């Protein structure tokens, strides 16, 4: 059996104060895109979990979120684990701020629940998702959503205009923990309202959408990774392109409404930067 595990982009990320539990309160607008990993899985009768992956940075043991999702599923569904083998064909770079590991785990959970005739309710699935991470719940449905809390509280789904992304990978495995630890919250600065972006995503021009994109983790991210800062300055300065960071990095992205424009810019940037660049589009999970 096979499924597609999409990446996400944070079109809006406003991190606020650190809470008593160590997490930061935040507001974020996330969108799934048609760039992602392919996962092949099978049920066997050896009672164990095994994971294979083409990317050496991905752990193949119980620390992998996919492994944890499988264990949670059988435990909560009160079904004995027959044995599951999983092969992850990774395209989403690790530590890119694109939610690769979270997507893999949650789409695995969704695939298992569907295969076993939905023993788990939406609430149970949500609880498992929240036990696995902060940007995990979003992958239960995907699409375009506003989330709050530590990133696990769904607030509103948006019917967004289709967008085209150019993703630029600096080749850095960004540590979310480190970027958050470097983040300084300015209490005196009022936060932007994500409803402007939500409105523009429904009916605005590309220019208006781009002007409403926010990520206040950007300074903390480029402060942690000097090479990323150089690349960011090169694209936004020398190349004069509007470029953004997804989540806690390291992927950078530019936004288009026409694929042709994205193809043109991909060609231009590939000539000047020795980086992997891919084109992706807004994606709805099935």
**Binding residues for ligand C5P, per CB under 6 A?**
23-24, 26, 133-135, 150-151, 176-177, 180
Q: How far apart are CA 145 and CA 16, in angstroms?
A: 19
Q: Where are the beta strands (DSSP E) in 194-272?
A: 214-215, 244-245, 252-256
**Which one is catalytic: 37, 68, 90, 135?**
135
Task: Judge whether 98 and 92 are in contact, CB under 8 Å.
Answer: yes
**Close Cβ partners of 229 (under 8 Å, ≥ 6 residues apart):** 222, 223
Minimum distance, C-beta of residue 20 to ligand C5P, in the bound complex (Å):
12
Minimal distance, residue 186 CB to ligand C5P, in Å: 16
A 10 A CB-CB count for 4 gives 14
Q: Which of 102, 70, 64 is nearest to 83 (CA)?
A: 70
Provide the CA 227 distance to its chain's centre, in angstroms: 22
Whether 135 is a known active-site residue: answer: yes
Residue 140 has what DSSP assignment? G
Number of H helices and number of E strands within the chain?
9, 11
DSSP-assigned beta bridge partners for residue 31: 9, 144
N residues, the chain? 286
8 in catalytic set: yes
**Pick 24 or 266: Cβ nearer ligand C5P:** 24
Residues classed as catalytic: 8, 135
């Amino acid at each position: 059996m096979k499924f597609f595990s999409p990446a996400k982009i944070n079109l809006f990320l406003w991190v606020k104060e650190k809470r008593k539990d160590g997490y930061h309160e935040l507001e974020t607008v996330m969108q799934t895109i048609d760039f992602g990993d392919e996962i092949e899985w099978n049920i066997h009768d050896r009672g164990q979990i095994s994971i294979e992956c083409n990317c050496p940075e991905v752990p193949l043991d119980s620390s992998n979120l996919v492994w944890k999702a499988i264990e949670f599923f059988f435990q909560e569904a009160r079904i004995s684990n027959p044995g599951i083998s999983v092969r992850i064909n990774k395209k989403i770079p690790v530590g890119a701020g694109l939610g690769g590991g979270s997507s893999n785990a949650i789409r695995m959970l969704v695939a298992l629940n569907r295969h076993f005739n939905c023993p788990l309710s939406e609430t149970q699935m949500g609880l498992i998702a929240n036990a696995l991470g902060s940007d995990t719940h979003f992958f239960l449905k995907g699409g375009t959503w506003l989330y709050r809390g530590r990133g696990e509280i769904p607030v509103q789904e948006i019917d967004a205009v289709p967008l085209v992304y150019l993703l630029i990978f600096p080749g850095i495995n960004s540590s979310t923990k480190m970027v958050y630890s470097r983040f300084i919250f300015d209490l005196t600065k009022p936060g932007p309202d994500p409803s402007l972006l939500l409105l523009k995503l429904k009916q605005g021009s590309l220019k208006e959408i781009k002007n409403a994109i926010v990520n206040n983790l950007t300074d903390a991210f480029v402060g942690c990774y000097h090479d990323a800062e150089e690349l960011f300055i090169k694209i936004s300065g020398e190349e004069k392109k509007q470029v953004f960071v997804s989540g806690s990095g390291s992927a950078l992205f530019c936004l288009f409404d026409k694929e042709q424009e994205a193809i043109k810019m991909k060609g231009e940037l590939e000539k000047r930067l020795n980086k992997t660049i891919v084109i992706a589009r807004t994606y709805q999970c099935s």
